[in-house]
Amino acid sequence: YGNIDLSNEKNNGHTITINSFSFCEYWAKKVFTDDQDNPDAYSVPDFEPVSSDSDKYVHLIVAGMTRMGFALAVQAARLGHLANHQKRKTRITLIDSNADRESNYFASRYQSFFDAVDVESINLFTGEINHKRGSLPFINIELRFVKGHFESPAIRQKLLDWTSDTDALTTLAIAFNDPGAGMAAGLYLPEEIYSRNTRILIRQDSVHSGVSLLIPDGKTTNNKFRNVKVFGMLDNCPGLVGENSYKAMMVNYFYYSGNQMPGKFTEDLFESILQNWEKLEERHKWSSRHNAESIPVKLRTIGSGGYEEDILKKGFSEEIINKLAEIEHTRWNVDTLLSGYSPAPEEIQEESIRTADLIWKAMKDNEGDFEAEEVKRLKKQHEEYMNGWKRQMIHPCIMPFENLSEYYRETDRRLSKSIPVIESEYSRQVSLKQTI
């Protein structure tokens, strides 16, 4: 997906823009991205508060290793970074009768990520279980591939076992391509699962599917299917009218702005932000979009679910900023691996840290002035070194937060510190549009 500008002299200066999109990826974003103003919104993966000392963890179970199933798994991996990420890993379980073949496809598509994480493979036809240790133990995601027929007694027993874990915030997504098979699978689960705190998603082609008839009066409190929702409908497809990149533009601005926090977003400032965004390569735009999508998750980790709460009005404390900076780098590690980058060998990491530390020292010596000549000279040298490896799809910053140069830790802090500004400005823009 992307944005292609076909403007040239032959079309008299007119700009022809083609916006392409992935149906499955947009639906995965819709079901897992917080939409607090929408009463019909889907439940986010971390649908209960998770504090730093909590034993709770996110568990996504996907039935059907289809394109939709993979899209859900990848989106959960991007968003599953909570306050207790050093204690409990987000678990993603994928079930398919051809799981061995489909897991090979997943691995080839996301090789760097697959190599980095712990993987368990279960073959319920043979009883064989295999474990692969991830190359990067600090990555807080673990995968499980289960080969078996979803309707089999063995899978049904596994579902009962997994959903009985009171520490697990479990979402079960039925992602079969066949709507009829998906409906049957979602509505004939073991009875105990419906009474548990498990979110159930069933892929369907139409909004007016059989599930809408299960709660005819709109009352969900005592209804057996209160936690069941349909998704993936062709007649309710997100993304066709383009997406709102407003927050992502501001994320990009704060990434490059140094530690300057504007008191007010003037028209001139936003015009500058927009111009910088339009010049940005598409892959960097997506990096900013993924960061923006993670903001609601981060707010929930510090107990703030709304824009009007004091924690946003007053700004974040130093403790919160440091916590969110660590979560941001944890999220960035996974996103960068999913983008195809591999971690760098130790000697390359050491050199990247050394040259970044020189920038940080020069900045401190120049009282934080990003525009000081010595800072710009060292930054140019460092970026040339980094870009040489990044062109080979090797990223020297894939490492634990505590191993980063202070130069990069400060970048993560800056992005975290900017969240209240981004949220308040976005809320203001929404209010302005509603009054027009």
Q: Express each pLDDT in 22-81 by its tens digit.
A: 889 999 999 998 665 666 689 899 999 899 999 999 999 999 999 999 999 999 999 999
- Averaging pLDDT over each range in 222-226, 277-281, 364-368, which range is the top one? 277-281
pLDDT band at 276 (very low <50, low <70, confident <90, very high): confident
Q: Buried (b) or exposed (e) across 152-174, using 16+ Cβ within 10 A?
A: eeebbebbeebbeeeebbbbbbb
Q: Give residues with Cβ within 8 angstroms of 235, minimum separation 6.
A: 205, 206, 207
pLDDT at 424: 83
Calculate mean pLDDT across residues 230-250. 75
Instruction: Please list, in sequence order, all residues whose beta carbon lies within 8 angstroms of the beta carbon of residue 384, skipping any fewer than 6 positions away.
Output: none
Distance CA 163, CA 145 (A): 17
pLDDT digits (tens, 9 = 90+) for 363-420: 999 877 778 899 999 999 999 999 999 999 999 999 999 999 999 999 999 999 999 8
Q: What DSSP string runs through 94-107?
A: EEETTHHHHHHHHH
- Residue that wins the pLDDT comparison between 404 and 223: 404
242 has pLDDT over 60: no
How much of the chain, in percent, has pLDDT values that exceed 70?
83
d(CA 291, CA 350) in angstroms, rounded, equals 26
Stronger pLDDT, 38 or 186, i.e. the higher one: 186
**Ordered DSSP codes for 208-277:** SSGGGGTSTTS--SS-TTTTEEEE--GGG-TTTT----HHHHHHHHHHHSTT---SS--HHHHHHHHHHH
Q: What is d(CA 130, CA 133) in angstroms, rounded to the nearest whole number?
A: 10
pLDDT band at 13 (very low <50, low <70, confident <90, very high): low
Mean pLDDT, range 113-122, rounded to an integer:
98
More confident residue, 373 or 307: 373
- Tell me if the pTM is above 0.85: yes
